[in-house]
Structure 1
């Protein structure tokens, strides 16, 4: 799948099926190589003589001076290191300058990421991407490039830090030395997954000055809110497998006084690149948050590296879970979990990446004897919960021996006084592999807090259990459907989905007919599940007809793992004199209009009549008959409706026309031709207008996604724009700001 937001064509990006998007620029010939990851094709550069060789994109791409752009590529070269650049051009296609990345530390035959970012200089109106292999010793030296991107920077959605602080692709202005080190940028040869675009390229390299602790920190101060739980992480490269490198999340008040610091050490299995997370709730009086990274007891001249720095609100494993991220994911330690009784021992599973359901670590529960132990979480606030159902869920994996598990939720009042406990019967933890286990209980009167408790009876000595992804939340319907008659759409909510599965959603209509439902990427057919909750606003549901929804989830082996069926719902059509004109991709534009006259339909056909000499009957060659064509006449009754109809028609998108049952017209997708808007012939101030909309029936658009913020928040706007004036210049409308559609 092409890289989202890439200005380059799919052929230029992947070098499939050919090299037509590329041209030799310096000291090389180009050809199509093989062995790529984003498709098999690669851009193969072969040197003509000693010296640097370069290739560039054939096309140039529009840019705006002062706006930051990013370019990256995957590269592979046995003999020489490589780099990437952005060539800035004037309106006359003359070169202004080239923004180069640093050169990789060495050559590498393994695919590795090279990247660069910079602000377009004054006078720049276009740009090209240049890839370079540095100074071959002679002719016939070969380097490969593919998976190439150019466009606006790709950054972690929700990150409070600016793109350059996260990625270091432009410079190190977002970072500062805190203690005992010097910093520079380097490009080590790191291979990330082909579809992961938020890491690789430049990394911050901190060189320890003298034996002892050393640290760096972000220089910016993103705003944070007291009471909100945040997670911070970065990719770390330790100098040795025994080095203790760490990330730290700090909170400060408005007077720049540090209120709290929470550190997580990386349990590194080697000297590669490893993501380490840390999380904590912001304390009272918090004004901003800071991420720091460092090494404990470093040796002079040792180098540790940092990349992909992020601070963001902590995720939840289930919608509404009250379990803090630290207590559910064990990325730092075992958090608030304790052994109440018995011989069990708790620990964070190390080293990094050994086994997990979330991120990089899990908690281990080890029982040295075949006895019973009780393990309990911290106490979590659940609000006024009396009479409400709550679900506790956790991933468990038996590594050795076995356990019989009794699942319990302990209830407390607002002051922390224990009220009662709700328990299940004892049952064996299933084996092998990871299992998501859950239990549901009703909170008693006065319940305002709760804790999760497990009674674990080991069935043999040296029994070991791993735990991850712990959540506790108020139980809500896993499939829920509601409607909005005034806006003519149905909301389908699917909860407790399995992340990393795929899902397909159908609308079930009259007679059992099925049609795919539209999501943010088009019709939802095999879409990846990125969250345990999926909320779909179906603006294409018919009026006045009962519909329900069917969803089917599949795992990575394409095996169905769950199905959902919703209740039925019917959108009230309202006054039959009105109908809806809807833009499937931009439902904000949808408009209900008064119908003056329905179309008199025609159906065009292409045919040729051959009159055979001496024969009575002609020979007719014909194609299939086309869809419906006709003029829909509607009224707008005031200036607001008139403006809204213009707004709907301006993009000239395919529209959905829906009329009430009994109007004699099925829902249809239409293209609107040349529009006429006429006055009623009365007084000049009469706001009524009569519109004639020439409609041509077309096929349903399948790849058009519903415009959505897709997780975009005010934090992203703050991180991407230095001032309010920047926002005004980058976004033409409030809608563009909401959807992140920057002007180029």
Structure 2
């Protein structure tokens, strides 16, 4: 699949169907190889003689001096390699090449190399250069999945691109104790679509025996009382090494006020994602990430990759359980055993057993008895229905039952008792969901999640993960926003990795797929338990509802849902909506001055037959409606908005007020006319002539915008508003990250 944002063509990126995007630069020939991952093709670069060989892109790509650009590729061969960005002037003269660090070894398996750098003064174009040094002639090195473009960062990351990736240099980090810092490119195989990982890692080297640590230079702003999640890939030097990351908070004067550590229980010496979470204390102003080794030997190296701090996500929308108590990534958090023989620990090693993240809670019972496990207390609202749920997995021995219940507490921390709970038997060794619903008592202010687990054999172990507690809201809800011209559909409690199709159903029973970020929502993969869709193509003046089909990972229909009926209205019958299905932020209401006089052209060939009175006419299919719609704008703001809507030339949706004798219609708009309604220079009213040609609904157009982009991503990347203004022409460009 094409890499989003790639300057390179799909042929140059994937070397499919040919090598036309590439040319030899030094000591090599090139041919198309097979066995690639981004399509079957790959670039085989063969040495002419021993020594370094280089291949480059045929094309040069426009860039702006001073802007940071990023490139990566997957590669395989018998020698170490590097990748570079070649900077060129407008006349094609080389200014310089920004090279990656050489890989620390070689591998015949696909692995990632990458580099980033600021375009130097005088550079207006860039090329990608691939390099390896071979021991002899006719040695092949393989490349594919090549990217050149703007930096890619984790959405919502408080850190800038270089702190996250170390692709430019190591300046995002500083030694704290007994450490030096450098960059290395280990040979690591990453997923072909893992665009945020691979290439340079930050390498912390212990100067002498003892504890060693490093710290991010950046200290991004945090909000007191908000929970944050930090994570990074760690590569320990040995299996026995004690490697850790730490989330640190500082007050306004820069004094450290809290530190929360998560230690990696490594199963080997590969790269393992380690997570740490904490709530910013009341006096917190900024944060940082630290990493280190305890008891390191001299010259031992700890590598870090993809370093991120984000506002902590929820595995279930609305859950009040903090990430640490939900996922057990840094220990057992606030969990206790108020009664019974069970003991609690975090599973080990990394990845051994988990449902979410890399660890779970391990409850071990030495005897065949019942034990009660209880979480810390979390805020709840009295009188509301709450659901507690976890995923449980019998890991050893046998378990006769698991009871899930909720215990309530009042403002004085008095125990108000527990819900009756729901008892589950565990038929096998899979992961099982064990929910329980209960209404919070009138004076409840906090609640704990409890599990009463009963072992039926000695030395039994139960793993628990993804513990959540949330106020139960409707699984399917719909709301009409007539002023905005759309309906909002909310789908909750969806199962990850299932697929969903969403239809709008009219009074005639006809089902129409509605539009999402990638096009019509037709068996779209579910990546979150919550899906909110704004339907900007819903009709006005007629009731409709939504039908939802949910498919399991095998493609079988698993369940269906239906929403309530809603109706959108247009307050002024003289107004109509003009909408861009792929860019709903451009949608607007316009005042209709005159409806079209419709025509429906048809292609015909007329033949006169000698001796016959009537002509012979051969006709094609009669075409759709054509006509001129006249609308008025009443202010300069409306005028500019209509220009923005029409500038793209996209297929638009025209929706008139119900009862005006015009159905909703997708249209193409030809050459437009704009005129003042009076000769006064200060007159703001305009009349517009819009030649319309009926069109089919665009089926592949998705709702535009990088999924998940937030203001945090803008704040992370730009230090001042002037930089934002210099980079983007409009606020819409900021939303879409279109530079």
Category of TM-score, reference length = shorter chain: over 0.9
CA separation of 1:646 and 1:461: change in aligned 2, threshold 3 A: same
Deviation for aligned residue 1:698: 1.8
Per-residue CA shift, 1:232-277, capped at 9, x if unaligned?
Answer: 1111111111111111111111112111111111010011110110
Deviates further, 65-74 or 587-596: 587-596
CA separation of 1:241 and 1:562: change in aligned 2, threshold 3 A: farther
2:349 alignment counterpart: 351
Deviation for aligned residue 1:532: 1.4
Aligned equivalent of 1:688, options 669, 685, 688: 685
Alignment gaps of 5+ in structure 2 = none
CA–CA distance in 2 between the matches of 1:236 and 1:684?
Answer: 66
1:502 alignment counterpart: 499
Per-residue CA shift, 1:372-421, capped at 9, x if unaligned?
Answer: 10100001122xx1211111111111223123122211111223222232
CA–CA distance in 1 between the matches of 2:194 and 2:500?
Answer: 21
Deviation for aligned residue 1:489: 0.5
1:606 alignment counterpart: 603
CA–CA distance in 2 between the matches of 1:149 and 1:16?
Answer: 14
1:586 alignment counterpart: 583
**Native 8 Å contact 1:542 1:667 kept in 2:** yes
CA separation of 1:609 and 1:289: change in aligned 2, threshold 3 A: same
CA separation of 1:423 and 1:55: change in aligned 2, threshold 3 A: same
Deviation for aligned residue 1:738: 2.9
2:670 alignment counterpart: 673
Deviation for aligned residue 1:175: 0.6
Answering whether residue 70 of structure 2 is matched by residue 80 of structure 1, we say no
Deviation for aligned residue 1:709: 5.8
CA–CA distance in 2 between the matches of 1:627 and 1:221?
Answer: 60
Deviation for aligned residue 1:572: 1.5
1:730 alignment counterpart: 727
Aligned equivalent of 2:215, options 217, 222, 235: 217
1:136-285 equivalence runs, <5 A: 136-285=134-283
Deviation for aligned residue 1:624: 3.2
**Native 8 Å contact 1:396 1:466 kept in 2:** yes
Which SS does the other structure have where 2:435 is aligned?
A: strand
Which SS does the other structure have where 2:723 is aligned?
A: helix
CA separation of 1:654 and 1:425: change in aligned 2, threshold 3 A: closer
Per-residue CA shift, 1:540-580, capped at 9, x if unaligned?
Answer: 00111221112223333223343321111111133332211
Answering whether residue 90 of structure 2 is matched by residue 94 of structure 1, we say no
Per-residue CA shift, 1:203-257, capped at 9, x if unaligned?
Answer: 1112221111111111111111211111111111111111111111111111121
Aligned equivalent of 1:406, options 397, 403, 407: 403
CA separation of 1:617 and 1:142: change in aligned 2, threshold 3 A: farther
1:480 alignment counterpart: 477
CA–CA distance in 2 between the matches of 1:75 and 1:85?
Answer: 13
CA–CA distance in 2 between the matches of 1:623 and 1:92?
Answer: 53
CA–CA distance in 2 between the matches of 1:691 and 1:8?
Answer: 40
**Native 8 Å contact 1:403 1:463 kept in 2:** no
**Native 8 Å contact 1:408 1:421 kept in 2:** yes
CA–CA distance in 2 between the matches of 1:301 and 1:637?
Answer: 72
Deviation for aligned residue 1:603: 2.5
Deviation for aligned residue 1:610: 4.5
CA–CA distance in 2 between the matches of 1:552 and 1:146?
Answer: 38
Q: TM-score, with normalisation over the residues of structure 2?
A: 0.97
**Native 8 Å contact 2:399 2:453 kept in 1:** no
Deviation for aligned residue 1:612: 5.2
2:443 alignment counterpart: 446
Deviates further, 614-623 or 34-43: 614-623
Answering whether residue 385 of structure 2 is matched by residue 386 of structure 1, we say no
1:334 alignment counterpart: 332
1:368 alignment counterpart: 366
CA–CA distance in 2 between the matches of 1:209 and 1:371?
Answer: 52
Deviates further, 158-167 or 99-108: 99-108
Deviation for aligned residue 1:283: 1.0
**Native 8 Å contact 1:406 1:423 kept in 2:** no
**Native 8 Å contact 2:477 2:490 kept in 1:** yes
**Native 8 Å contact 2:247 2:260 kept in 1:** yes
CA separation of 1:411 and 1:205: change in aligned 2, threshold 3 A: same
CA–CA distance in 1 between the matches of 2:598 and 2:28?
Answer: 61
Which SS does the other structure have where 1:738 is aligned?
A: helix
CA–CA distance in 2 between the matches of 1:31 and 1:624?
Answer: 49
CA–CA distance in 2 between the matches of 1:528 and 1:425?
Answer: 31
Answering whether residue 281 of structure 2 is matched by residue 287 of structure 1, we say no
Per-residue CA shift, 1:474-527, capped at 9, x if unaligned?
Answer: 111111000111121000011111223332211112322122211122222232
Deviation for aligned residue 1:150: 1.0
1:570 alignment counterpart: 567
2:30 alignment counterpart: 30
Deviation for aligned residue 1:179: 1.2
Deviation for aligned residue 1:137: 2.3
Deviation for aligned residue 1:684: 5.7
Deviation for aligned residue 1:626: 2.7
CA–CA distance in 1 between the matches of 2:472 and 2:387?
Answer: 6
Which SS does the other structure have where 1:642 is aligned?
A: helix
2:736 alignment counterpart: 739
**Native 8 Å contact 1:398 1:430 kept in 2:** no
**Native 8 Å contact 2:387 2:469 kept in 1:** yes
CA–CA distance in 2 between the matches of 1:393 and 1:305?
Answer: 37
2:41 alignment counterpart: 41
Q: Which runs of 4+ in 1 moved over 6 A?
A: none
Which SS does the other structure have where 1:350 is aligned?
A: coil
1:131 alignment counterpart: 130
Deviation for aligned residue 1:425: 4.2
1:396 alignment counterpart: 392
Deviation for aligned residue 1:339: 0.8
CA separation of 1:588 and 1:386: change in aligned 2, threshold 3 A: same
**Native 8 Å contact 2:45 2:141 kept in 1:** yes
Deviates further, 309-318 or 635-644: 635-644
Per-residue CA shift, 1:147-188, capped at 9, x if unaligned?
Answer: 111111111001111100110111000011111122211111
Alignment gaps of 5+ in structure 1 = none
Which SS does the other structure have where 2:101 is aligned?
A: coil
Deviation for aligned residue 1:96: 1.3
Deviates further, 6-15 or 287-296: 6-15
Deviation for aligned residue 1:306: 0.9
